[in-house]
A and B are shown apart, each in its own frame.
Chain A
Amino acid sequence: MSEITLIEAIRQAMDEELARDERVFIVGEDVGKRGGVFRATQGLYEKYGPNRVIDSPLAELSIVGVGIGAALYGMRPICEIQFADFIHPAFNQIVNEAAKMCYRSNGEWTVPLVIRAPYGGGIGGGLYHSQSVEAFFTHVPGLKLVIPSNPADAKGLLKAAVRDPNPVLYLEPKKGYRLIKGEVPPGEYLVPLGQAKISRPGQDLTLITYGMTHYYALKAAQMVAAEGIETEVIDLRTLLPIDKETILQSVRKTARALIVHEDNRTGGYGAEIAALLAEEAFMDLDAPIKRLAGPDVPAVPFSHPMQDWFMPNAEKIAAAIRELAAF
């Protein structure tokens, strides 16, 4: 088994689902002839034709709207939003239509839709190509929200998302597209939505994270292990619905929790985890719940030093681990 990149795993997942189920189709900007701006759909247009890999106008509202309509008619659309930063025009479609359809039709109508969107900074993308948008959508019941951190999960989660009867927002850490490599299991497999994974066991504290920061978290955990601090790292994988049990079980053991994400701090997803721990694990805590998150500025700055200042990295995470372990 050889290693593949994160983006190759995503491409493989779509390829296999397109081949498996003729109801599956892809729609988005430049996904067809160009193979996507990140090449996530490269070769699929040639393989499955223009009716199943559809180049859309530059209108995110319509990409998602088309997806919802097709899903209601029994199709299995995969909508690609070129950058998560551009998902905002489709917010109404996602929140008011896709997320509520099953509930308001009393289960008669479902929207089996996947929306893929690359998120996150650190690639010199500046204000409009670096955003993290998960917190806007984890507030919306009726949606599922998935963020993979490695090729094996990325493939299994995307295939599971395509087959899920609910609308799934699938956010991809674009900095990791070619940086994060790993083996994927051979043959057909799914990674179930809603299950977190302990990617590194440890006794001294629990580090809860997802996506790109999970990659840095593992490096940080390795750094502090040389100093005798054993960090348990949880990769959430699915943010909505949240896997409470894995988080609570770990924190009940270690009694200390550090939450890391790239999205800015205030109202970020970490606040939800912190609230969960405060409500359900208070009597097991030995230290304040800590968050390491992007600073509360309107966007990831374009200037490289400023981008570095914004982005979490292994050193910043290791420092936060040391501080919490010493409390």
Chain B
Amino acid sequence: MATRVLMPQLGESVVEGTVTKWLKQKGDLVQEMEPLLEVNTDKVDTEIPSPASGVLLEVLVPEGTTVQAGTVIAWIGEPGEDIPLAAHPPAQQPVPETPAVQTEQAAAPVEQRDLGSISPVVARMAREHQIDLTQVKGSGQGGRITKKDLLAYLEEREKQVAAQPIWETPADGDLFRPTELIFPQTSSQPLAPTQPLSGRLVPFTPMRKAIAEHMIASKHTSAHVTTVMEADLSRVVAHRSAHLSEFAQQGAKLTYTAYFAAATIAALKAYPLVNSSFTPEGVLIHPQINLGIATSLGEEGLIVPVIRHADSLSLLGLARAINDLAQRARTRQLKPDEVKGGTFTITNHGVAGSLFATPIINQPQCAILGIGAIQKRVVVIEDEWGNEALAIRPMVYLSLTFDHRILDGAGADAFLAKVVEGLEKFSA
């Protein structure tokens, strides 16, 4: 029976590949593991070995064509052998959303992965549901497979079975396997060292793990660019000292963060493109402003509670919302929904003395504003007649990290200039 050749998935985030060169032509004899074609993914060329010995019966995907991982690209079999009837899908046949799991399951690799310790419930469930544990990704300590991982895997497997199109039914005989499974050493995935390194291993808290995943995912997703401006806070400082006690009487601690939030909201209204998310279809501009305020929880991590509909709040309302969310963030009393749905984030790294920073975007937002420490600095000021003088002013650096996929430098700078203007010309 003929053997399919599938477009391999050459990395975890790689979902498609381009056939750059067929090293064998239709009718050529080929040995198992002999180089069969070259595939290009993300600017890297990889030689793909043949999954079986025989004759290259049919080439379905011509050179230069890009198809999704899991697509049948050729057939190998005995000379003159018929290709199964359903074996002529067009090269661009849509494949299910998650072809990765499918090809891996179909391929049933005999990868020698160290599974670490298997708990009783995992062992029992693997037996009851006939699960090959080498196929399950572990999320526990040191990559251990947990019961939850198995439940997630089973759920995914059930979805796959339901979604599997006819021509994806595994053929008998040797099946195509991605090279990373054939040569596990070349895998880019860090493997748990079999000889533990010396030192004290601090296990991840769920929060640390989530932060790590979000940060890396954001760096992988957006084209980060940071632009910096400075603002003279004379008016803000004057307004704040004049209103501190008035706000306190109304139960709000008037922080500088409230002023930065107010100026940011005004600028977001003027430049709605900054209050957006990148989607495959286009830039989604959000109708309301949900402002995230990054809040440090000390060594434990960082959380970003969100002020919903921040554009509807006065300075007093903002001050109250910021007090409340920060307080409850520190006492771990936020509700899960209160850290979701943000459309723009402010991070006040200046509280720790930092002058300016290059924050990482809080996905799926377009930009994040970093606020530096407020410092008295000597600046050159100019009066209305153009006379220059040196003055001591409370200054702050504002750094805006934005997604260059959505905004260009000019657009981002216009927005940031609007924030600066809002602070320098602040009036309640």
List residues of A whose CB falls within 8 A of some B CB: 222-224, 226-229, 255, 282-287, 322-323, 325-327
Contacts and interface: CB of A to CB of B under 8 A. Distances in A.
Given A283-B121, A326-B206, A227 B332 contact: yes
Interface in B309-345: 332-336
A322 B147 CA distance: 17
21 contacts: A222-B333, A226-B333, A226-B334, A226-B336, A227-B207, A228-B210, A229-B206, A255-B121, A283-B121, A283-B123, A285-B119, A285-B121, A286-B119, A286-B121, A286-B122, A287-B119, A322-B206, A326-B140, A326-B141, A327-B140, A327-B144
Contacts of B121: 255, 283-286
The list of the 4 closest CB pairs from A to B, nearest first, reads A226-B332, A286-B147, A286-B119, A255-B147
B146 A286 contact: yes
Interface string B55-82: 0000000000000000000000000000
B333 A323 contact: no
B141 A282 contact: no
Contacts of A286: 119-122, 146-147
Nearest to A278: B120
Contacts of B207: 227
Contacts of B210: 228
Contacts of A224: 332
A229 B205 CA distance: 11
B204 interface: yes
B196 interface: no
Most buried by A among B121, B122, B140: B121
Contact of B120 (A226, A283, A323): A283
Contacts, number: 54
Contacts of A285: 119-121
Contact of A283 (B124, B140, B336): B124
B386 interface: no
A277 to B, nearest CB: 11
A289 to B, nearest CB: 11
Interface residues of B, number: 23
A284 B120 CA distance: 6
A227 B119 contact: no
Interface in B98-144: 119-124, 140-141, 144
B104 to A, nearest CB: 24
Contacts of A227: 205-207, 332
Contacts of B203: 323, 326
Most buried by B among A227, A284, A286: A286
Nearest to A287: B119
Nearest to A252: B121
Contacts of B146: 286-287, 327
Nearest to A326: B203
A104 B312 CA distance: 78
A316 to B, nearest CB: 15
A228 B336 contact: yes
Given A286-B119, A287-B119, A322-B206, 9 more contacts: A223-B332, A224-B332, A226-B335, A255-B119, A283-B123, A283-B124, A285-B119, A326-B204, A326-B205
Contacts of B335: 226
A115 to B, nearest CB: 40
Contacts of B119: 255, 285-287
Nearest to A285: B120
A121 B141 CA distance: 35
A229 B207 CA distance: 10
Nearest to A323: B203
A255 B122 CA distance: 10
Contacts of A226: 332-336
B223 to A, nearest CB: 30
A223 B330 CA distance: 10
- The interface centre, meaning the residue of A224, A227, A283, A322 with most chain B CB atoms within 10 A of its CB, is A227
B96 to A, nearest CB: 29
Interface in B236-271: none
A326 B203 CA distance: 8
Interface in B206-221: 206-207, 209-210
Contacts of A282: 120
Contacts of B120: 282-286
Contacts of A228: 206, 210, 336
Contacts of A323: 203
A325 B333 contact: no
A286 B122 CA distance: 7
Contacts of A222: 332-333
B25 to A, nearest CB: 53
A326 to B, nearest CB: 5
A222 B335 CA distance: 10
A327 B141 CA distance: 5
A227 B335 CA distance: 9
Interface string B334-370: 1110000000000000000000000000000000000
Nearest to B328: A226
A322 B336 CA distance: 17
A282 B146 CA distance: 15
Interface in B171-206: 203-206
Nearest to B139: A326
Contacts of A255: 119, 121, 147
B73 to A, nearest CB: 41
B334 A325 contact: no
Contacts of B333: 222, 226
A283 B124 CA distance: 7
B127 to A, nearest CB: 10
Which of B124, B144, B332 has the largest count of A CB atoms less than 10 A from its CB?
B332
B401 to A, nearest CB: 26
Contacts of B147: 255, 286
A322 B209 CA distance: 12
A253 to B, nearest CB: 10
B405 to A, nearest CB: 30
Nearest to B122: A286
Contacts of B123: 283
Contacts of B144: 327
B192 to A, nearest CB: 15
Contacts of A322: 205-206
A224 B332 CA distance: 8
Nearest to A327: B141
Nearest to A228: B206
Nearest to B207: A227
A278 to B, nearest CB: 10
Contacts of B205: 227, 322, 326
